[in-house]
A and B are shown apart, each in its own frame.
Chain A
Amino acid sequence: MSDDVLPVTMSGLRKALAAGQFSVSEALYAQVAHIRLNAAKFRCVTAIHELSDVGANEAAPRRPLDGVGLAHKDIFHRVDRPASCGHKQPPPVSRRALSASALTRLDAAGASELASLCMAEFACGATGQSDQVDEPVNPLDQSAVVGGSSSGSAVAVAAGLCYASLGTDTAGSVRLPAATCGVLGLKPTRGLISSAGVFPLAPSLDTVGIIARSAADAAQLLAVTATRGLRVLREVLDCPAQLEEVLLASSSPRLSYCFDATPVREDVLSVLMEFIQQLPGVCPITACTAPWFKELTGYAEMMLHVEAAQVHLPRLRHSPADLSSTVRAVALPGIAMPAVWYAEALSQRAQWAKRIVAEYFQAADILLMPALPDGLPNWDEVHTKSPSFNGRALASLYSMMPFVNYLGFPSIVFPVGIDALGRPVSVQAIGRPFSETRLLSFAYRVERDLFGAYGFVPVPLTHDGSSTQISIKR
């Protein structure tokens, strides 16, 4: 590690701060300067914030996330800075509204919010397509799509503009952009991170999630933001090296995999099969099927439409022209859905969750599925205003995600190889409710085995050929 360059992971930064290699102020100023310099290259930042509380004399970290710069999807409300929600005319906010609970927890742990990040309008959209703000650039491949709706979060983390980011996942909106940018995306158990102060899309599916470069980084953010549990992670939160040891020391999970719930492109399937074949022998793994896949996906989709219609009804009625065609395409069908369908989906939800736990998570700890079964498409294939637009490619992009939101289970995506085009292939690991520590532990082992100690994705070069690694030279 060069002395004038910050580490590429949050864990690495915290270790360096604890060892006195940098002061908290030096680290923060370097991160602010870095994001100011590089934000425009990736078009993922909507606003860079002033850091008012960085003391010139602040040297050593006192709190777990002192010196750590984060940036989040612009959907989290702050009392002094309402969220734009990816729209030029943000939704009105009650004067009594409090700052998002997740941000408050990060503030208390010492984290600094560097910037707000772009997102699909009102979190509606499987890509970063937007009529309202810039469309972000995928740091791994400019012609490849950036998934949505937490598109800015994935790009900023993959580009090395910030160490980690909070997003929201209603039907894959954290996992999908993470998979397209080759970083880790964690959708925790529904409700584990409070969604208070977060603009809703479909409240019973909405989940606050984390995008990070490393499973250890995600574990630290989860330990800070979660409202319950995670005792093991919280106990070692003050010492990132110990936290990494805990993640590596947990027992090997029992795995099952289902790669045929939906058709998977041949080269993607090869990467996934190679991945499970190369897992250590101590991880017993069995194949399984998912005959319920389409039914649960349908339930999730229907609930998304209905709840989005309820959320956006005032705008649909009084200012319809202010909403993009994508938002309208999500909300309008909800008006036409029979109420009995919605009631049925709700009434079946707990039974399905119990059934899936009984059928899959008695014999296994983790269920592996593809993240992007058709691989990572080009922007023009899935951009609805492109002459090459392919509706099937867009539908395939998010096909593996919504059923997990219906069940409310935790799920994590991370890259395990590259496809025939050299683009990342990610696996989705699903666990029983509140099994986040086990999922993160599994992801961290894979990360260390496949990618070493520098996170899932190398910090890319920018278009002008310069590195985006953060330098403390001023």
Chain B
Amino acid sequence: MKQVPTIFPIPSIVSVDPICPMPLASLNVPLSEQELLVVGKQVSHLPRKQTGGLEFTQEETSQAAAVVPSVPSTESAGHAGGTIFAVLGVPISAEELLMVGKVTSRLSRIFHSGDSKRGDQNSAACSEQVCI
């Protein structure tokens, strides 16, 4: 099923609470709510994960695998623009967040303009490396 969100949702305020980090929203990658939850936890726990080792990641991955829906939901991917700034401890105003959203949205058009072709090229390049 083809699901390609076309409009990058510009975050309105910083204090929204969903857990999806902003970069994910910019990629227009369809994700379920459960996947968003897992990704958000991964990002927010990153410093702990570094000391916790690989087991933590595997544990999270196994949880994600159990809840993957047959049809991913695409909603709410961009509603949590401020989360990544919170994770990094970088203060940002609502106006700046809006600006960041505009910049990311504008650049996303460039990165999405040749998705399939570039993806294929990357795959081909990887295949060549494997063959070599």
Contact partners of B103 in chain A: CB under 8 A: 305, 333
Cross-chain contact B90 with A336 (CB below 8 angstroms):
no
Residue of B nearest to A338 (CB): B23
Chain B residues with Cβ below 8 Å from A354 are none
Chain A neighbourhood of B89, CB < 8 A: 317
Q: Which of A83-121 contact B (CB under 8 A)?
A: none
Q: Is the CB of A332 within 8 A of B92?
A: yes
Which B26-62 residues have a C-beta within 8 angstroms of A?
26-27
Q: Across the interface, which residues of B come within 8 angstroms of A347, CB to CB?
A: 122
B90 touches A335 (CB 8 A): yes
Is A298 an interface residue when CB atoms closer than 8 A count as contact?
yes
Given A328-B96, A332-B96, answer yes or no on A298-B88 (Cβ-Cβ < 8 Å). Answer: no
In order of increasing CB-CB distance, the 9 nearest A-B pairs are: A298-B110, A338-B23, A333-B103, A336-B22, A316-B90, A333-B100, A317-B89, A336-B100, A338-B27
Residues 262-308 of A contacting B (Cβ, < 8 Å)? 294-295, 298-299, 301-302, 305
11 extra interface residue pairs, beta carbon distance < 8 Å, beyond A329-B96, A336-B100, A337-B107: A301-B107, A317-B89, A333-B99, A335-B85, A335-B88, A336-B84, A336-B104, A338-B27, A341-B26, A341-B111, A347-B122
Please tell me if the beta carbons of A336 and B113 are within 8 angstroms of each other in the complex. Answer: no
Give the A-B contact count at a CB cut-off of 8 A: 69
Residue of B nearest to A318 (CB): B89
Are A320 and B91 in contact, CB atoms less than 8 angstroms apart?
A: yes
Task: Flag whether A241 is at the interface (Cβ < 8 A).
Answer: no
Question: 12 interchain pairs (CB within 8 A)?
Answer: A298-B111, A299-B110, A317-B88, A328-B96, A332-B92, A335-B88, A335-B100, A336-B22, A336-B23, A340-B27, A341-B26, A344-B122
**B interface size (C-beta, 8 A):** 26
Which of B22, B23, B99, B110 meets A295, CB within 8 Å? B110
Chain B residue with Cβ nearest A298: B110
Q: Is the CB of B90 within 8 A of A320?
A: yes
Q: Is A339 an interface residue (CB 8 A)?
A: yes
Contacts of B81 in A (CB 8 A): 336
Give, as a whole number of angstroms, the nearest-CB distance from B102 to chain A.
9
Show the binding face of A for B, using Cβ within 8 Å.
Answer: 294-295, 298-299, 301-302, 305, 313, 316-317, 320, 328-329, 332-333, 335-341, 344, 347-348
Residue of B nearest to A351 (CB): B121
Residues in B lying within 8 Å of A, measured CB to CB: 22-24, 26-27, 81, 84-85, 88-92, 96, 99-101, 103-104, 107, 110-111, 113-114, 118, 122
Q: Which residues of A contact B24 (CB under 8 A)?
A: 338
Q: A332-B99, A333-B100, A333-B103 are in contact. Are A317 and B26 (CB under 8 A)?
A: no
User: In the bound complex, what is the Cα–Cα distance between A298 and B114 (angstroms)?
Assistant: 13
With contacts A317-B89, A336-B22, A336-B26 known, is A329 near B107, CB below 8 A?
no
Contact yes or no, A341 B22, CB < 8 A = no
Q: A313-B90, A317-B89, A320-B90 are in contact. Are A337 and B110 (CB under 8 A)?
A: no
Tell me which residues across on chain B come within 8 A of A335, comparing CB atoms: 22, 84-85, 88, 90, 100
A328–B92 Cα distance when bound, in Å, is: 9
User: What separation, in Å, do the CA atoms of A313 and B90 have in the docked complex?
Assistant: 8
Q: Given known contacts A294-B110, A295-B113, A316-B90, is B27 in contact with A329 (CB within 8 Å)? A: no
In the assembled complex, the CB of A238 is this many whole angstroms from the nearest CB of chain B, namely: 48
Chain B residues within 8 Å of A339, by CB: 23
Q: Is the CB of A332 within 8 A of B107?
A: no
B77 to chain A, nearest CB (A): 12
Tell me the smallest distance from the CB of A456 to a CB of chain B, in Å: 35
Distance to closest chain B CB from A127 (angstroms)? 18
What is the bound-complex CA distance between A399 and B122, given in angstroms? Answer: 29
Question: How far is A340 from B108 in the complex, measured between Cα atoms in Å?
Answer: 12
| Assembled-state Cα–Cα distance A182/B86 (Å) | 45
Q: How far is the CA of A32 from the CA of B107 in the complex (A)?
A: 47
Docked pose: A344 CA to B122 CA in angstroms:
9
Assess A313 versus B111: contact at CB under 8 Å? Given A332-B100, A333-B104.
no
Whether A338 touches B99, Cβ cut-off 8 Å, given contacts A295-B113, A333-B104, is no
Q: Which residues of chain B are near A320, meaning CB under 8 Å?
A: 90-91
Chain A residues near B92: list those with CB within 8 A: 332
Residues of B contacting A299 with CB < 8 Å?
110
| Bound CA span A251–B92, Å | 55
Q: Is the Cβ of A329 less than 8 Å from the Cβ of B99?
A: yes
A317 partner residues in chain B, CB cutoff 8 A: 88-90
Instruction: Report the minimum CB–CB distance from A251 to chain B (whole Å).
Output: 38
CA distance A328 to B91 in the complex (A): 11
Q: Which residues of A contact B118 (CB under 8 A)?
A: 344, 348
